Amino acid sequence: MNASLRVAAGPAAGTTIEVGERALVIGRDSQGGRAGTLGDDPELSRRHAQISLTSGQLVVEDLGSSNGTFVNDVRIEGPTGLEPGDEIRCGSTTLTVEGAPDRGTTAVRLAAPQATRVREVSPGRIPTAVGAEPELHVVAGKRLGTRIPVGAEPVVIGRGVKGPGALHDHELSRRHAKVSHVDGTLLIEDVGSTNGTFVNGVRITEPTLIRSGDVIWLGLSTLMVAEPRVEKKPEEEPTPVEPPAPSAESSLLSRFAGLSDRHPKRVLAVIAVVFVIAIVFGAPVAGMMHANDPFNDHSSQSIQVNRIIGHATGELAGPQVIALVKPPGGVNAPGTAALVGNVSAALRQEPTVTRVQSFYSTRSRAFVSNDGQYTYVAAYFKNVSDNDASNAASRLLDRVSKPPEVKLGGPAVAGQQIGAQVGKDLGVAEGLAFPILFILSLFVFRGVVAALMPLFVGGIAVLVTFLALRIVNSFLPLSQFALNIVIGLGLGLAIDYSLFVVSRYREELAKVGQDPAHEKIYGAVPRTEAHGRFPGTESEALHRAIYTAGRTITYSAATVTLALASLCIMPMPFQYSMGIGGALTAIIAVTTALVALPALLAVLGPRINSLAPKRWQRSAERTARLDTSGPWYRLVQWVMRHAVPVATVCIVALIALGLPFFTGVKFIGVDSSVVPTSLSARQVDDILVSRFPVDSSSQITALVRAPASAAPQMAALTTSVRAFPGALQAGGPPTALPGGYWTFAVLPAHRPLDAQTISLVKQIRAHQNPAIETTGNTSQFIDQKSTISSRLPVIALVLCLLTACVLFLMTGSVVLPIKSIIMSFLSLSAAFGILVLIFQDGHLQGLLGFKSLGALDLSQPVLIFAVAFGLSSDYTVFLLTRIKEAHDHGASNRDSVAIGLERTGRIVTQAAVLFCVAIGAFATSAVVFIKEVGIGIAVAVIIDATIVRALLVPSLMALLGERNWWAPGPLRRLHNRIGLSEE
């Protein structure tokens, strides 16, 4: 009697195929067997699968296909029996068994993981028994459907054994456990495995009796003891409701959970002590972080010239304070000289000031505005640190700027006012972010108690990071700007990690102990042998939550840490301070989430849902149970049905948003222009630029190595250089310095960062015989840009390689890491394009409260790139771990993606919104480059969590199909040996 198959889906849908004595080989090149008429299915291997009638039993076998053969959505590992109604999926083709010979076979019901529909799957259906050997059935894991007979000889199970006990599970030890059949009974014993053997949820320490229905957990595999196969029809095995979390107690993450579960109050007491120490010693760190010249490479030419001049003259290069005077009646009024003299005398009283210059001491018209309404006094400082210069500027602001006719500006004043404004903005951002985050958390976490979790984790993480920064700052001076990233990133990651752990804990609480079958299989009934305060129930939920969500946030923290640490490649203190601060924040945030949060959950138990309306509680529990019926599942199914147009629209939109950045971006450095217009440094700078013939901040200081006797040659050289295009014939004679140097000033006719001034500096530096080195604002900008341009490709390469390695070790695929990196670059380019539209072109400047400078700050894109890339990888990890979990449990590629998005889509979107509030609070800053960071990172996160994760990821996953999980043979074997597991 023949069997018939109907093609239910695929290019040949509707076709009926008969299977008789000759085997049916399915594939694109079915030589050697009768070809199946399946049309042009590109997802089929050349020889994909074979269906045959063997002794009247219809059997399907995979022939080594690249993307697997599935029966009822479960991937088969060996010959598998078929019954009417079974569905076989090869590539994009699905066949339904319509008729098969009746051989009196016994259907054995196996476990379909939670990630797939629970159905009567019949891998390896075997005709009615011919012996009395007991068997172990693999009901979860990579060898799902495998039967292990236990005869007279003991069976050793492991990944390095030969015979029926070889399960090829990389979580197994080479020799993991031994099962013996002695006098009609079965005994199992652990044979020195690294992660333990569990029977019905309890770890065994000696040979243990097992009987029919018992469940054994080994690594990632779950085995069930089956009745001996005798002549009578065996009873059906119960269907597990949820795949267990295998070997949880053995992993490092589970040790964290076990410690917190058994001794939660002790753990919280230790955390409280650490928190108090962090408050006492970490909170004052803001006043201790004073890295010198944070925005410049200290090995660059401009900074080296500053050091030479400072060492030779005892003075910092260029005037540090500009006292702008607007005398009543103008510069020519009778009292002007006396007013300027008083200002000069007040400046000289500051011990840091070495000399002052004014119109009355130099008679240079450069000190008088074009309209005669303003003049200024220039004060030069000793060769002191930035911190000392800032303190001196602060004292001068108190002493000199009292008369309304006088305003102070210049580099030292700008630095002091930027630092003070950043500190003020930090307090405003904290005060704004915390209450908004709490209110939003109430709706996201659906309960007051749960909503306090991210603030609990975030508060600890931020203050402990402050303490760590104080320790680092004691031997490596850091910039105070790192505090911004610590607070924003600390709160943001605390929200992400708390949301994932709490959501998974609630999900597991909703599942543990659902019904008697579940209790029997998973050990959910309280047992005296089990550990923890809530054996088999809340304790089990806590272990599973930390084992799964804890693994996810550990991967996430690794990617964020690597991304931020890559900034340490930059030699500028601003960048490497941000890198150190950000990396420490990620490490401490995840440690807090893995240690402090489980202890608090252990104390709370089900009370995590307290202080929430009943409707919210029901909603939270309902959400925890959804897999294949939620809105995200339906959205993803729609996206995958329209994969090509969705992917095309998303990619085109992201590229279009990024075009302004790639085609017209301009950069500026950090100077007085980034100070708010309400502060004196910005007001003085604007007036000097718009009303004076020469902008003192644009002065180019040249340094030449020559003997003291070379005065005539230096005079000629000075005259020659001042004749270059864009230079003015002004600036005074050259000056000899101790040590065989000469210096002279060149005053450009344009602003410091104008193209003409930049060209002038490059022309001066290109001069040979003698070689001329330069410093000044323009020179420092050129050096900063050169350093960033040379180091950025290295950062990008290192970041991509490290991220790819982490994602490969997590997924075992080479396709997914490459695709994730490309999508990260697309979302980043779109974010940078939006930054250009806002900060360079001036769109939304009224709404956001700033005045466009016509360019982006040079130092910020690198920081935004590193942070946003890390967060993009962060959300990639959140999504891929759930997709991989479903795929490993036998779900198809499409179902894995839909289930993964259903489980993470809501959480990732909510986490992104909360993170944007935390980091986006810095958009309220009055300092433009801090505002750029807040808005830039927030925009990148929103784009990644919505367009990329919700639309682009599922559409590309659908287009690539099972090829998403491809890796070359050597790399796959490498992953099996060293891949990051749930250990």
CATH topology for 1-105 is Tumour Suppressor Smad4 (2.60.200)
Give residue limits of the domains in the chain: 1-105, 118-250, 257-287+446-612, 320-409
Q: How many angstroms separate the Cα of 948 from the Cα of each of 825, 837, 863, 872, 876?
A: 11, 21, 21, 9, 10
CB 82 within 8 Å of CB 71: yes
Query: Distance between CA 669 and CA 781 in Å, rounded?
Result: 6
* Nearest residue to 565 (alpha-carbon basis) of 876, 295, 870: 870
Q: Which CATH number applies to 257-287+446-612? A: 1.20.1640.10
Neighbours of 848 (CB within 10 A): 15
Angle at 698 between CA 673 and CA 690, to 5 degrees: 60
The structure tokens 């607007």 sit at: 326
CATH for 320-409 is: 3.30.70.1320
Alpha carbon distances (Å) from 400 to 392, 663, 754, 946: 12, 46, 32, 53
Other Cβ atoms closer than 10 A to 758? 19
Which pLDDT score is estimated for 197? Answer: 86
Q: Give the pLDDT of residue 824.
A: 92
Give the pLDDT of residue 38.
67
Q: 711: which 2 tokens?
A: 């005065």
**pLDDT (0 to 100) of residue 823:** 93
Q: Report the residue count for the chain.
A: 983
Type of residue numbered 35: A
Cα 403 off chain centre by: 51
Distance in angstroms (rounded) separating the CA atoms of residues 323 and 359: 12
Return the closest-CA partner of residue 317 out of 728, 781, 743.
Answer: 743
Within 527-613, residue ranges assigned H as helices are 538-565, 573-604
pLDDT at 183 (0 to 100): 67
According to DSSP, the β-strands at 57-62 and 735-737 are unpaired
N- to C-terminal Cα distance for the chain? 51
For the chain, which residues score pLDDT lower than 50?
30-35, 103-131, 230-250, 513-536, 626, 981-983
432: exposed, middle or buried (Cβ count in 10 Å: 0-12, 13-18, 19+): middle
- Cα separation, 413 vs 714, in Å, equals 33
Q: Give residue 142's pLDDT.
A: 67
Q: How many other C-beta atoms lie within 10 A of the C-beta of residue 680?
A: 22
Of the candidates 85, 16, 95, the one whose C-alpha atom is nearest the C-alpha of residue 2 is 16
Same fold: 1-105 with 118-250? yes
Q: Which two tokens stand for residue 28?
A: 């694109």
CA distances from 707 to 322, 704, 742, 764 (A): 33, 10, 8, 20
Question: 6: buried, middle or exposed (CB in 10 Å: 19+, 13-18, 0-12)?
Answer: middle
Kindly report the CA angle at 839 between 837 and 841, in degrees rounded to 5?
50
**Token code pair at residue 168:** 């090829």
pLDDT at 32: 40
347-405 pLDDT, tens digit each: 999 999 999 999 988 888 888 999 889 999 999 999 988 888 989 999 999 888 777 78
Quote the CA–CA distance of 557 and 547 in Å, as a whole number.
15
Alpha helices in 401-447 (DSSP H): 411-445
Residue 432 contacts by C-beta under 8 Å, 6 or more apart in sequence? 921, 924
Per-residue pLDDT at 806: 86
| CATH number belonging to the domain at 118-250, selected among 2.60.200.20, 3.40.50.1260, 3.30.300.30, 3.20.20.70 | 2.60.200.20
Instruction: In whole angstroms, give the CA distance from residue 148 to residue 164.
Output: 6
